[in-house]
Chain A
Amino acid sequence: MSETLEKPAPKAALSIVGSRPVRPDGADKVTGRAAYGADFNMPGQLVGRVLRSPHAHARIVSIDASKARALPGVKAVITAADFPDLASEELEGGEAAANLRDLSLNVMARGKALYHGHAVAAVAAVSTEIAEAALERIKVTYEVLPHVIDVEAAMSPDAPVLHDHLFTEGLEARPDRPSNIAKKHRFARGDLAEGFAAADVVVEGRYTTKATHQGYIEPHACVAAWGEDGRCDVWSSSQGHFMVRTFCARLLGLDISDVRVTPAEIGGGFGGKTTVYLEPLALALSRASGRPVKMVMSREEVFRATGPTSGGIVRVRLGAKSDGTIVAADVELTYQAGAFPGSPVGAGAMTALACYDIPNFSIVGWDVVTNTPKVAAYRAPGAPISAFGVESAVDELALKLGMDPIALREKNAVKDGTKASYGPTFQNIGYLDTLAAIRESEHWKTPLGPNQGRGVAVGFWFNVGGESTAAVHIGEDGSAAVVTGNPDIGGSRASMAMMAAETLGLPIDKVRPMIADTSSIGYSMLTGGSRVTFATGMAVVQAAEKVTGELCARAAKLWDVPRDQVAWEGGKAVCLDAAKDRAPLSLEALAAQSARTGGPISGQATINAQGAGPGFGVHLCDVEVDPETGQVSVVRYTAAQDVGKAIHPSYVEGQVQGGVAQGVGWALNEEYIFDGEGRMENAGFLDYRMPVASDLPMLDAILVETAPNPRHPFGAKGVGEVPIVPPLAAVANAVRGAIGVRMPDLPISPPKVLAALDAKGG
């Protein structure tokens, strides 16, 4: 089921935007023709493999690769010595700023291995078997160091220190010794003590989440070819081939113009493919061997050496008046960053209270390094963790006040004109309508069965704009190619084609969307931050408008009328000067005559899009708990979201459903489990328990379109990240409803639920 709430009478009737055509990439994907990262091959290519640290924390005393090099069929062995030793420098290009030195140390350990699975060497050989045999012949001498994984243990003064150069940022005074605490973030408003003093009711809690992986189905894969002239090519699956280009060039000390990256079809990323792991290694191996090198990770490597997102601790204290007005909020977030600084705790802090209008608050966030893989962006990075704590606390508050959880959120809701907790003033937000959509839903009005509980939670994500390029080229038969530089991870090709078709007045099947390599289209920031339909979509519309402008100019020439006497209407050039009596000229007719009127017809737009428009989600979850086993089943789920305008509603619903599915897994079963040596024990889908299709009911999406984004030609807001923010708490709040006990620690696995029931004495 899906419904759409819409304000009546949109300005101009849309014929394509808002409809549900078959996706342009669909046939290739269902027939297996789509070429993913591992599908590309080159003549003479070698197989690249990575040797990974067997220790969670160890000094690399020496690496002896002579026996591996001597093995027939081995063409190259590389270590950190094959890369420049780079200085600390903030780099733009990924989802968040990256530090060049840390990026370099993460792709290949130098001096120290910082997590089990950290790359310490790589080989290229003529076959997989020889490459693997070569790995076994590389002798690495380690001095094993004590490791630390738990985030609170990592903060303690006697914890093993990962980086001697790491001094906590954001403190009033620079600390006198290094620690694992990379940074303190703080946002505050009003007077906290005064706020709590004025409160009638106070709730307090400590909530924890475990590290979880993005879980994309396609492991990282690439082919790299280093030419004799020093120019190189990379084919890889990523969320941004311009990001891959920048990072590879910087890590290897190359000019941007020397690196061309061609995007493969991508089999999921969810933020986890916003950085590089294999590409720089494949390039270095190709340089050393003189042959193209292909590298594909195993699932185990994906778990041990890429992603995940942080495990976190969220402390929340809320104070409210007896009428439900929240007057004070004190939030402290502590996030695992993995081996290098840069957990998403900043975004976690900025989003923590973004749905609430609270006069007095303090939000503190701690970014802490641990001997685990460096975290990567994961869908609304940081926000689900803080929302889990805050939304659980708001649920407690509702219980304590005896107040309906939706009414409590409505009472404290941000609206147009509210100054957001993270700074700006909200405009054109549809949050209250989204709450109302859930309050009015049939789901909310349906009674629960035995052993069932219902949870409500809300969530927020900023969404971003940024730099994008788009080109529209008209074929001689009047069809169009729409070229962008953003890998399609969520149906964006469909949206690009639809927005172009709408603007040009062409049927959708006359428009072919393409994603071009880094030298065939201008720079585009990666696919992340829910930015593509918004920002790249704007570029597409602007490029298409340049084309329609050009088409009008060509018609004016043919008609011998001034340019301003021609307009583009319904896919045709029409002459506004009625006296001229000119029959409208179709795109097809104008394209056929383009050689005579000035040559090929193309338009390109480059933008740095601003005003993405934040998104809000309100989720409603019913669970059923087996009181004898502690097993939790999600039996019904409805998610409403402020989407501005859904360009292709099916793919917006798909984004909502996908975010919920991932959030439910995070809430119930997914977690990184480490043994005493700091090795992940469940590095595979069997024991890293992502939900399977049969674990979930139909996930109902309600698209709220009452607050279109005025900055976007069709009103789109980002939609891909919001839906993973509320589910952790929506599930936990539903479990609270079912068993009468608060489950503050994720995942809410069956043994924990049973133990909680026992403790309650049920």
Chain B
Amino acid sequence: MTQLAYLAPSSAEEAAAALARDGARPLSGGTDLLVQLRAGRTRPAVVVDLKAVAGAIGVREQSGGFVIGAATPGAVLGEHAALSRAWPGVVEGATLIGSTQVQGRASLGGNLCNASPAADGVPALIAARATCVIVGPGGRREAPVESIATGPGQTSLAPGEFVLEFRLPPRPARASDAYLRLIPRTEMDIAVAGAGVNLVLDEGGRVAEAHVAVGAVAPTALLAAEAGRALVGGRLDDAALAGMEAAVRAVCRPISDKRGTAEYRTRIAGVLARRAALIAFERAGGVR
């Protein structure tokens, strides 16, 4: 009874124009959107498929950093050797979404803009200090990843705006990242808590720069700035890790629901952040 128009523009500008129409929604992999459509939770009038938009799919290296098309499927990221070497945590966050079938479609752009507090792709992107290139009727702008989601299902994107690509900063030597989540099963589940940690070590093997972000413990994924600072200057000794865990827990303000109690989520966020930090440290060549 309701009509649904489908558009597949090939340029970012056309896409922005199409998205400015009433009731228009962007479509990347559709692994969230189509599920919501079928469940009757969303009734868009126009679906604007971004997969044909130039630049929306693919990974390229640019001025020392990586650019990831926002609609690139997880499976493509997982198979990208250079990206996986430089940003194993970002790739981990993207590739543990869903199952093999879901990986053929699910994208980081969709994961971010669906704005689930538990989105697995987001914490590692925030910890990576990644930015989004946003295209809209008013042109292009760039914004940090953590500024996009504003609450469950809510984003800061203006009507007509969409995320075209993610930019990851240039990667120095002795740097790496990791993402861990807890789900009661081993796959096909929603994170009870998640944590991404990004570390850069100095020549002496000490942490020079550290960023920690957590998911599923607040209305949006959060950058835990204090937690990052707690790791800087050392080799992840027990005191630094304990300080980081405490700082992570301090930023958590989760809900209690069928997926976990607030207390449990907060506690687990700390555990996951510590474990992710240790993995990132080892990947960066650090020795405790």
Q: Is B a genuine binding partner of A?
A: yes
**Residue positions of A touching B, CB distance < 8 A:** 129-130, 133, 628-629, 631, 668-669, 673, 681-682, 685-687, 689, 691-692, 694-695, 749-751, 754
Q: Please classify the interface of chain A as helix (H, G, I), strand (E, B), loop, or mixed, using the class held by over half of its residues.
A: loop
Cβ-defined contact, A751 with B258, below 8 A: no
Chain-A contact segment, one of B74-82, B220-228, B264-272: B264-272
Cβ-defined contact, A629 with B271, below 8 A: yes
Q: Is B84 an interface residue (CB 8 A)?
A: no
Partner of B187, one of A681, A685, A692, A754: A692
Q: How far is the CA of A72 from the CA of B105 in the complex (A)?
A: 39
Q: Please classify the interface of chain B as helix (H, G, I), strand (E, B), loop, or mixed, using the class held by over half of its residues.
A: loop
Residues of chain B within 8 A (CB-CB) of A692 are 185-188
Residues of chain A within 8 A (CB-CB) of B186 are 692, 694-695
Cβ-defined contact, A691 with B258, below 8 A: no
Q: How far is the CA of A129 from the CA of B4 in the complex (A)?
A: 13
Contact mask for chain B residues 184-196; partner A; CB cutoff 8 A; 1 contact, 0 none: 1111111010000
Cβ-defined contact, A750 with B258, below 8 A: no
Residues of chain A within 8 A (CB-CB) of B261 are 751
Residues of chain B within 8 A (CB-CB) of A681 are 258
Name 20 extra pairs, CB < 8 A, besides A668-B184, A682-B258.
A129-B1, A129-B2, A130-B1, A133-B1, A628-B271, A629-B182, A629-B268, A629-B271, A669-B184, A686-B189, A687-B258, A687-B259, A689-B189, A691-B185, A692-B186, A692-B187, A695-B185, A749-B184, A751-B261, A751-B264
Cβ-defined contact, B1 with A686, below 8 A: no
Residues of chain A within 8 A (CB-CB) of B104 are none
Chain B contact-residue range equals 10 to 19
Residues of chain A within 8 A (CB-CB) of B259 are 687
Q: How far is the CA of A66 from the CA of B225 in the complex (A)?
A: 61
Cβ-defined contact, B182 with A669, below 8 A: no
Q: How far is the CA of A750 from the CA of B183 in the complex (A)?
A: 9
Closest to A671 in B: B258
From residue B277, how far is it (CB to closest CB) to chain A in Å? 14
From residue B275, how far is it (CB to closest CB) to chain A in Å? 8
| Central interface residue in A129, A668, A686, by most chain B CB within 10 Å | A686
Contact mask for chain B residues 166-192; partner A; CB cutoff 8 A; 1 contact, 0 none: 000000000000000010111111101
Q: Is B234 an interface residue (CB 8 A)?
A: no
Residues of chain B within 8 A (CB-CB) of A673 are 258
Q: How far is the CA of A682 from the CA of B190 in the complex (A)?
A: 13
What are 27 A-B contacts defined by CB distance under 8 Å?
A129-B2, A629-B268, A629-B271, A631-B184, A669-B184, A673-B258, A685-B188, A686-B188, A686-B189, A686-B190, A687-B190, A687-B258, A689-B184, A689-B185, A689-B189, A692-B185, A692-B186, A692-B187, A694-B186, A694-B187, A695-B185, A695-B186, A750-B182, A750-B264, A751-B260, A751-B261, A751-B264
Counting residue pairs across A and B whose Cβ atoms lie within 8 Å, the total is 46
Residues of chain A within 8 A (CB-CB) of B182 are 629, 631, 750
Residues of chain B within 8 A (CB-CB) of A629 are 182, 268, 271
From residue B272, how far is it (CB to closest CB) to chain A in Å? 8
| Central interface residue in A129, A133, A751, by most chain B CB within 10 Å | A751
Residues of chain B within 8 A (CB-CB) of A689 are 184-185, 189
Closest to B275 in A: A628
Q: How far is the CA of A220 from the CA of B267 in the complex (A)?
A: 41
Residues of chain B within 8 A (CB-CB) of A687 are 190, 258-259
Residues of chain A within 8 A (CB-CB) of B192 are 750
Q: How far is the CA of A749 from the CA of B183 in the complex (A)?
A: 11
Q: How far is the CA of A130 from the CA of B261 in the complex (A)?
A: 41
Cβ-defined contact, A754 with B264, below 8 A: yes
From residue A363, how far is it (CB to closest CB) to chain B in Å? 34
Residues of chain A within 8 A (CB-CB) of B185 are 669, 689, 691-692, 694-695
From residue A695, how far is it (CB to closest CB) to chain B in Å? 5
| Central interface residue in B184, B188, B261, B264, by most chain A CB within 10 Å | B184
Residues of chain B within 8 A (CB-CB) of A129 are 1-2
Q: How far is the CA of A529 from the CA of B264 in the complex (A)?
A: 41
Residues of chain A within 8 A (CB-CB) of B189 are 686, 689
| Central interface residue in A130, A629, A692, by most chain B CB within 10 Å | A629
Q: Which 6 pairs across A and B sit closest by C-beta, in order of nearness?
A: A694-B186, A751-B264, A129-B1, A628-B271, A673-B258, A681-B258
Q: How far is the CA of A628 from the CA of B195 in the complex (A)?
A: 15
Q: How far is the CA of A689 from the CA of B271 in the complex (A)?
A: 23
Closest to B190 in A: A686
Partner of A750, one of B2, B184, B187: B184
Closest to B257 in A: A681
B1-42 at interface with A (beta carbon < 8 Å)? 1-2
Closest to B268 in A: A629
Q: How far is the CA of A691 from the CA of B188 in the complex (A)?
A: 10
Q: How far is the CA of A689 from the CA of B258 in the complex (A)?
A: 11
Residues of chain A within 8 A (CB-CB) of B260 are 751
| Central interface residue in A129, A631, A673, by most chain B CB within 10 Å | A631
From residue A374, how far is it (CB to closest CB) to chain B in Å? 23
From residue B183, how far is it (CB to closest CB) to chain A in Å? 9
From residue A357, how far is it (CB to closest CB) to chain B in Å? 39
Closest to B1 in A: A129
Q: How far is the CA of A134 from the CA of B182 in the complex (A)?
A: 42
From residue A47, how far is it (CB to closest CB) to chain B in Å? 13
Residues of chain A within 8 A (CB-CB) of B258 are 673, 681-682, 687
Closest to A668 in B: B184
From residue A467, how far is it (CB to closest CB) to chain B in Å? 41
Q: How far is the CA of A673 from the CA of B257 in the complex (A)?
A: 10
Q: How far is the CA of A708 from the CA of B259 in the complex (A)?
A: 47
B76-109 at interface with A (beta carbon < 8 Å)? none
Residues of chain A within 8 A (CB-CB) of B188 are 685-686, 692
From residue B44, how far is it (CB to closest CB) to chain A in Å? 16
Residues of chain B within 8 A (CB-CB) of A685 are 188
Q: How far is the CA of A668 from the CA of B183 in the complex (A)?
A: 13
Q: How far is the CA of A692 from the CA of B100 in the complex (A)?
A: 13
Contact mask for chain B residues 265-288; partner A; CB cutoff 8 A; 1 contact, 0 none: 001100100000000000000000
Q: How far is the CA of A681 from the CA of B189 in the complex (A)?
A: 16
B249-266 at interface with A (beta carbon < 8 Å)? 258-261, 264
Q: How far is the CA of A629 from the CA of B181 in the complex (A)?
A: 11
Residues of chain B within 8 A (CB-CB) of A631 are 182, 184
From residue B128, how far is it (CB to closest CB) to chain A in Å? 25
From residue A252, how far is it (CB to closest CB) to chain B in Å? 32
Q: How far is the CA of A581 from the CA of B267 in the complex (A)?
A: 88
Residues of chain B within 8 A (CB-CB) of A668 are 184
Closest to B270 in A: A628
From residue A299, how far is it (CB to closest CB) to chain B in Å? 10
From residue A355, how far is it (CB to closest CB) to chain B in Å? 31
Residues of chain B within 8 A (CB-CB) of A751 are 260-261, 264
Q: How far is the CA of A686 from the CA of B191 in the complex (A)?
A: 11
Q: How far is the CA of A725 from the CA of B187 in the complex (A)?
A: 26
From residue B191, how far is it (CB to closest CB) to chain A in Å? 12
Closest to B260 in A: A751
From residue A347, how far is it (CB to closest CB) to chain B in Å? 30
Closest to A665 in B: B185
Residues of chain A within 8 A (CB-CB) of B190 are 686-687
Closest to B193 in A: A629
Known: A673-B258, A687-B258, A687-B259. A754 touches B267 (CB 8 A): yes
Residues of chain B within 8 A (CB-CB) of A750 are 182, 184, 192, 264
From residue A142, how far is it (CB to closest CB) to chain B in Å? 22
Residues of chain B within 8 A (CB-CB) of A669 are 184-185
Q: How far is the CA of A681 from the CA of B259 in the complex (A)?
A: 10
Residues of chain B within 8 A (CB-CB) of A694 are 185-187
From residue A754, how far is it (CB to closest CB) to chain B in Å? 7
Residues of chain A within 8 A (CB-CB) of B264 are 750-751, 754
Residues of chain B within 8 A (CB-CB) of A682 are 258
Q: How far is the CA of A695 from the CA of B186 in the complex (A)?
A: 6
Closest to B271 in A: A628
Q: How far is the CA of A492 from the CA of B42 in the complex (A)?
A: 44
| Central interface residue in B2, B189, B271, by most chain A CB within 10 Å | B189
